[in-house]
């Protein structure tokens, strides 16, 4: 009886621990390969230059609104006609009242369209607006 108690105490584990590091490495490799890192994909826009800029650090409360040279408007990932900008932004504001709208506008665009978009944003109550620019470096 005493021998059986001693044997049970020194019993080997059922799972071999030698391959645990290999399995962890394979899981890390799998998730590195399969994870999709999403980047902002908006309309192609040439931004105006600015002498000073400020980087916005928060990412959660941002809505990107692009207007390209042909007047197409895109909110985040969706092309939107001008008359639906207020409706879309109202919905986004209801989902998150702290949103900041980043206007990424073609530098040579007629300002009349930008003014109309700003009126739509005002109608939606999206008053926190910033313009995306490229930094003008000294000597270049």
Q: Is the pTM of this model over 0.75?
A: no
Same domain, 13 and 62: no
Output 110 or 13, whichever has higher pLDDT: 110
Tokens of 115: 């003014």
Same domain, 77 and 8: no
Tokens of 110: 């007629």
- For residue range 38-87, list pLDDT tens digits in order: 665 655 666 666 555 566 666 678 888 888 888 889 988 888 998 999 99
pLDDT(104) > 70: yes
Output 34 or 136, whichever has higher pLDDT: 34
Say how far apart CA 132 and CA 140 lie, in whole Å.
19
44 belongs to a structural domain:
no
Same domain, 131 and 69: yes
Same domain, 103 and 54: yes
Quote the strand ranges of 9-107, DSSP E: 49-50, 62-67, 73-75, 78-80, 100-105
Domain count for the chain, please give it: 2
39 belongs to a structural domain:
no
- How does DSSP assign 28-60, residue by residue? HHHHHHHPPPP--------PPEESS-------T
Q: Nearest CA to 59 among 32, 90, 38, 36?
A: 38
Residue range of the domain that includes 12: 2-34
pLDDT(140) > 60: no
24 belongs to a structural domain:
yes
């Amino acid at each position: 009886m005493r021998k059986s108690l001693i044997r049970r105490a020194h019993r080997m584990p059922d799972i071999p621990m030698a391959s645990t590091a290999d399995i962890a490495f394979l899981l890390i490799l799998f998730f590195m390969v399969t994870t999709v890192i999403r980047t902002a994909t908006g309309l192609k826009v040439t931004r105006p230059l600015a002498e000073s800029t400020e980087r916005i650090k928060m990412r959660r409360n941002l809505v990107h609104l692009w207007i390209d040279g042909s007047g197409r408007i895109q909110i985040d990932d969706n092309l939107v006609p001008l008359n639906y900008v207020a409706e879309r932004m109202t919905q986004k504001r209801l989902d998150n009242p702290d949103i900041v709208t980043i206007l990424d506008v073609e530098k040579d665009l007629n300002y009349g369209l930008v003014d109309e978009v700003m009126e739509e944003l005002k109608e939606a109550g999206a008053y926190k607006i910033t313009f995306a620019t490229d930094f003008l470096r000294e000597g270049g």
